[in-house]
Amino acid sequence: MTQGGGAQAPSGRASPAFPAGRGSVGGGGRREVPPLLHCLCGGPRQALGRVPVSGSGQARALVCLDPSVDGARSDSRAAMIEVVAELSRGPVFLAGEALECVVTVTNPLPPTATSASSEALAWASAQIHCQFHASESRVALPPPDSSQPDVQPESQTVFLPHRGERGQCILSTPPKILFCDLRLDPGESKSYSYSEVLPIEGPPSFRGQSVKYVYKLTIGCQRVNSPITLLRVPLRVLVLTGLQDVRFPQDEAVAPSSPFLEEDEGGKKDSWLAELAGERLMAATSCRSLHLYNISDHRGKVGTFGIFKSVYRLGEDVVGTLNLGEGTVACLQFSVSLQTEECVQPEYQRRRGAGGAPSVSHVTHARHQESCLHTTRTSFSLPIPLSSTPGFCTAIVSLKWRLHFEFVTSREPGLVLLPPMEQPEPVTWTGPEQVPVDTFSWDLPIKVLPTSPTLASYAAPGPSTSTITI
C-alpha cells in the first residue's frame, strides 16, 4: 500500500460560468451545481481527464468525485481517484512478446480524512488494440460492411477501447477485467498486474503519409451508472518477419496443470522468443561481403560504389565508399540520401503517378552531399534512426528502404580545372563562370530490420501528454 497526497478542491458552489442546476450538496443547505457534474446515480461526479507521461512509461487518469456523494464531510477537499498505468519495460515491444503493465488505483485524500471519504469503483478492464487510419486522398478503401452494425455504439457504459479514435480498429486482444467493486479508504492504494501477448500477425507501428497503424493499451474504469473513463497508453510495436512460423519447443517432462504454471510457461515462451529474434537479427545483419557497383551514364563510367552489406538494423550506420579515380567522366558533385518509400498497393490506390506508375511517397531520413571534383576516393556514413519503421508489407501498403544517389557530371571530356604545377611566369587563374553539366540518379535497395525493443526505447517519444475531460 502506498500513501497518496491530498488535493485542494473548490468549495462546492456553483460557478458563474455554468448554468444553474439541481443537486443536493452536503454541508448544511441546498446549493446549485452545474448539470454537467450530475451522474445517472444522482451524485455529481466528473472525470477530469488523463495525462500520459512520456519517458517513464507512465500514464495518469484523474476521476473527480464530489465530496457530498456520501453525505456531509468535515474535510473541505474534493476526493480524487488516481489511476496510474506503468509499463514495466518501456513502451516498445516486439510482436509476439508479452506486455506487462501495473495498474495502481489510489485514493489520494490524506489518512486523516473521515471514513465517509472512502470511494468505490465498479470495475476496471484493459485491452490492447491497433487503429488503422488511411488518407482519403491517397487510399481508396472499400465501404464498411453495414450488415454487422456495432453493438450500442453510442452507449457510454459499454467498454469500447477505440471509442473516439480516428480510423477503424483492425486488431484487438480480448478484454481482461482487473477488478470489480473496489473501495478505497483515504490514502489507500491497490495495484493490479495486467499481462497480454501482442498479436504476432499484426502490422508494425507506422505513421506514414498514406496510412497509419497505431497501437494503444486502453484501461477503462467506471462507477455505477456513470460514463466510462478511458486511459490510453501509447505503444510501439516492431514486427520481425518469419517469427509467425516458429513454434515454441514443448518440454514433455513438464505438464502444467494450474493457471500459475501456465503463466510461468508464458514467461519462458516470451524470453525464448526474444532470444530467437535477437539471434535471427544478429545472423542477418552480421554477414559482411564487399559489393561493387559500376556507376555510368550515357557518356561513360563515372566511378565505382562499394558497400559491405545490404541488411541493417535500426540504429546502425550505412557506410559506403565511392571511387572516382577510375572514371572517364568528371564528377563535380554527388549526394546520397537514406530514404523510405511508402507504396499503396495497386488495388487501393486513389491516384496514380505519371504513366500509370504506382504512387509512391518518399521520406528522407539522412543525407550526405559532397563536391568531388579531382577527388579520387571518398566515403560516407548515414545513420538509421531508431525511431523509424523497418520495412514491411501489408495488404494495403508496403514500406521499403533505399539509397538514392544523385550525380552531377561535366559534359566536357577531359575537364581540367587545376593549373599546372610549374609556371614559366606569373599567371592569374580564375575558375570558369559556367560549366555545362548533366545530372542523373540511381537507387540502391537495402533492407532494414527491427532492433532490440530495449534499444528502440531510447528513440524520441511521441506526444508527451494527452488529456480528456468527461
What's the pLDDT at 463? 41
Question: How does strand 92-94 pair with strand 98-106?
Answer: unpaired
C-alpha cell at 278: 535477437
371: which strand partners? Answer: 333
What's the pLDDT at 415? 64
Predicted model pTM: 0.72
CA atoms of 127 and 169, how far apart (whole Å): 12
Inter-residue contact 7 to 78 (CB < 8 Å) = yes
Selection from 170, 166, 156 nearest residue 128 by Cα: 170
Q: Phi and psi (nearest 5°) for 322?
A: -130, 120
How would DSSP label each residue in 290-333? -EEEEEEETTEEEEEEEES-SEEETT-EEEEEEE-TT-SS-EEE
Architecture of domain 291-412+435-455: Sandwich (2.60)
In terms of Cβ atoms closer than 10 Å to its own Cβ (0-12, 13-18, 19+), residue 312 is buried
- Report domain extents, the chain: 35-141+156-239, 258-284, 291-412+435-455
CA atoms of 5 and 285, how far apart (whole Å): 50
Average pLDDT of adjacent 10-residue blocks, the chain of 470 residues: 40 36 37 35 37 43 42 46 85 90 87 73 92 89 60 50 72 93 88 92 94 93 81 91 53 42 49 73 84 93 94 95 91 96 90 60 96 92 96 95 96 67 75 85 96 82 40
What's the pLDDT at 430? 75
Inter-residue contact 91 to 57 (CB < 8 Å) = yes
Selection from 431, 306, 422 nearest residue 371 by Cα: 431
Inter-residue contact 240 to 450 (CB < 8 Å) = yes
CA atoms of 114 and 185, how far apart (whole Å): 9
What's the pLDDT at 249? 44
DSSP H/E element including 24? none
Selection from 239, 295, 243, 308 nearest residue 269 by Cα: 243
DSSP, res 347: G
342: which strand partners? Answer: 361, 399
CB atoms within 10 A of CB 229: 24
How would DSSP label each residue in 364-389? EEEEEEEE-TT--EEEEEEEPPTTS-
Selection from 60, 48, 142 nearest residue 105 by Cα: 60
Topology of domain 35-141+156-239 in CATH is Immunoglobulin-like (2.60.40)
In terms of Cβ atoms closer than 10 Å to its own Cβ (0-12, 13-18, 19+), residue 357 is exposed
CA atoms of 312 and 287, how far apart (whole Å): 10
325: which strand partners? Answer: none
Q: Phi and psi (nearest 5°) for 122?
A: -70, -45
What's the pLDDT at 8? 39
What's the pLDDT at 235? 92
Q: Do domains 35-141+156-239 and 291-412+435-455 have the same CATH topology?
A: yes
Inter-residue contact 386 to 459 (CB < 8 Å) = yes
Inter-residue contact 389 to 426 (CB < 8 Å) = no
CB atoms within 10 A of CB 160: 21
